[in-house]
Amino acid sequence: MTNIQKMTGQCLCGSVKFTAENANINIGACHCDMCRKWVGGPYMAVECETDVVFTGTENITRFESSKWGQRGFCNQCGSTLFYFLKPKSYYMMAAGLFDDQSAFVFDHQIFIDEKPSYYCFSNETDNKTGAEMMESAQAE
């Protein structure tokens, strides 16, 4: 995991802003059914672990999408903000929110077995099925 220091970002309307102290420069795509329904396509995420500080928290709505995760969005403009993994208490922020995206590298995809056939990325990435993802999450 390659981290860079102190990245900032915001939602579309600017009501929610954040600073991520340990953002991973490696972008991942999730193709699971829930993510695709949530964002209308694959969820492109930046793992930021626990060091995310928000301003405008009154504009954040959290949706309990499973026993292990919450999905956050701006209740003013509807922007997807984050997937929050409850067991580890860390954030996977939507990649498009970051002010400077120049250092990001798209290098992995999860739930590849749920990816629909109507799109395909040309990048060479590390790919995990849903079962492989769940297995690796339980091993940690």
- CB-hemisphere CA count at 13 Å for 31? 20
User: Using one digit for the tens of pLDDT, what is the confidence trace for 51-71?
Assistant: 899 999 999 999 999 998 999
- Taking the model in full, what pTM does it have? 0.89
Q: Calculate mean pLDDT across residues 4-12.
A: 90
Q: How far apart are CA 20 and CA 9, in angstroms?
A: 8
Task: Identify whether the C-beta of residue 39 lies closer than 8 Å to the C-beta of residue 82.
Answer: no
- Residue recorded with tokens 């954030």: 91
Domains along the chain? 3-139 (2.170.150.70)
- Per-residue model confidence as pLDDT tens digits over 89-119: 889 999 999 999 999 999 999 999 999 999 9
